[in-house]
Structure 1
Amino acid sequence: MPFSQFTILDYLSNILDILLVWLVIYKLIKVIRGTKAVQLLKGIFVIVIVRFLSEFLGFNTLSWMLEKALTWGFLAVIIIFQPELRRALEQLGRGRLFTRSNQEEEERKKMVEAIVKATNYMAKRRIGALISIERDTGMGDYIETGISLDSNLSSELLINIFIPNTPLHDGAVIIQKQKIAAAACYLPLSESPFISKELGTRHRAALGISEVTDSVTIVVSEETGSISITKNGELYRDLSPGAFEELLSHELLLTTKTKQFSSPRWTFRGKKSNG
Structure 2
Amino acid sequence: MQFEALIHTFRILDVIDILTVAIGIYYMYKLLKDTRAVALLKGLLFLAILNVLSHVLNLYVINWILQQGMTVILFALPVVFQPELRRALEQLGRGRIFSKAQNVNEEEMDMAIDEVMAAARVMSREHTGALIVFEREVGLNDFIDTGIIVDAVLSRELIKNIFVPSTPLHDGAMIIRNGRIQAAGCLLPLTEDRTLSTELGTRHRAAIGLSEQTDAVVVVVSEETGVISYTYGGHIYRHLPEDQIKEALRTFMERPRQNITSMWKWGGKK
Alignment TM-score, normalising by the size of structure 1: 0.62
- Cα offset for 1:129? 0.5
Q: Distance in 2 between the 1:215 and 1:171 partners?
A: 16
- Cα offset for 1:138? 1.1
- Cα offset for 1:175? 1.1
- Cα offset for 1:202? 0.4
| Contact 2:36–2:139 under 8 Å retained in 1 | no
- Cα offset for 1:27? 11
- Cα offset for 1:79? 5.5
Aligned partner (choices 74, 83, 86) of residue 96 of structure 2: 83
Matches within 5 A, 1:90-169: 104-169=105-170
SS of match in other structure, 1:211: helix
CA-to-aligned-CA distance 1:184-227 (integer Å, 9 cap, x gap): 11100000111111110000000000111110001101111111
SS of match in other structure, 2:220: strand
In the alignment, which residue of structure 2 is the partner of 1:33?
33
Q: Distance in 2 between the 1:106 and 1:215 partners?
A: 20
- Cα offset for 1:246? 1.5
Q: Distance in 1 between the 2:205 and 2:216 partners?
A: 14
Backbone CA RMSD of aligned residues: 3.6
Q: Distance in 1 between the 2:171 and 2:119 partners?
A: 17
| Contact 1:228–1:237 under 8 Å retained in 2 | yes
Unmatched 5+ stretches in structure 1: 3-24, 42-75, 92-99
CA-to-aligned-CA distance 1:130-151 (integer Å, 9 cap, x gap): 1111111111111111122111
| Contact 1:109–1:253 under 8 Å retained in 2 | no
| Contact 2:36–2:138 under 8 Å retained in 1 | no
Q: For residue 33 of structure 1, what is the amino acid of its counterpart?
A: K
| Contact 1:247–1:261 under 8 Å retained in 2 | no
Alignment TM-score, normalising by the size of structure 2: 0.63
CA-to-aligned-CA distance 1:75-105 (integer Å, 9 cap, x gap): x9x96696343416xx7xxxxxxxx7xx622
SS of match in other structure, 2:133: strand
CA-to-aligned-CA distance 1:98-129 (integer Å, 9 cap, x gap): xx7xx622221111111111111111221110
In the alignment, which residue of structure 1 is the partner of 2:195?
194
Change (3 A) 1:121 1:188: same
Q: Does 1:244 align with 2:245?
A: yes
In the alignment, which residue of structure 1 is the partner of 2:217?
216
| Contact 2:208–2:235 under 8 Å retained in 1 | yes
In the alignment, which residue of structure 1 is the partner of 2:66?
none
SS of match in other structure, 2:149: strand
| Contact 2:151–2:181 under 8 Å retained in 1 | yes
- Cα offset for 1:30? 6.1
SS of match in other structure, 2:238: strand
Q: Distance in 2 between the 1:35 and 1:190 partners?
A: 19
Q: Distance in 1 between the 2:233 and 2:97 partners?
A: 28
Q: Distance in 1 between the 2:204 and 2:36 partners?
A: 28
In the alignment, which residue of structure 2 is the partner of 1:52?
none
Change (3 A) 1:193 1:79: closer
Q: Distance in 1 between the 2:188 and 2:181 partners?
A: 16
Q: Distance in 1 between the 2:233 and 2:204 partners?
A: 14
Q: Distance in 2 between the 1:30 and 1:168 partners?
A: 29
Q: Does 1:263 align with 2:265?
A: yes
| Contact 1:250–1:261 under 8 Å retained in 2 | no
Q: Distance in 2 between the 1:30 and 1:137 partners?
A: 13
Q: For residue 246 of structure 1, what is the amino acid of its counterpart?
A: E
CA-to-aligned-CA distance 1:245-264 (integer Å, 9 cap, x gap): 12111111259x8x995522
SS of match in other structure, 2:96: helix
**How many residues get paired?**
198
Q: Does 1:178 align with 2:191?
A: no
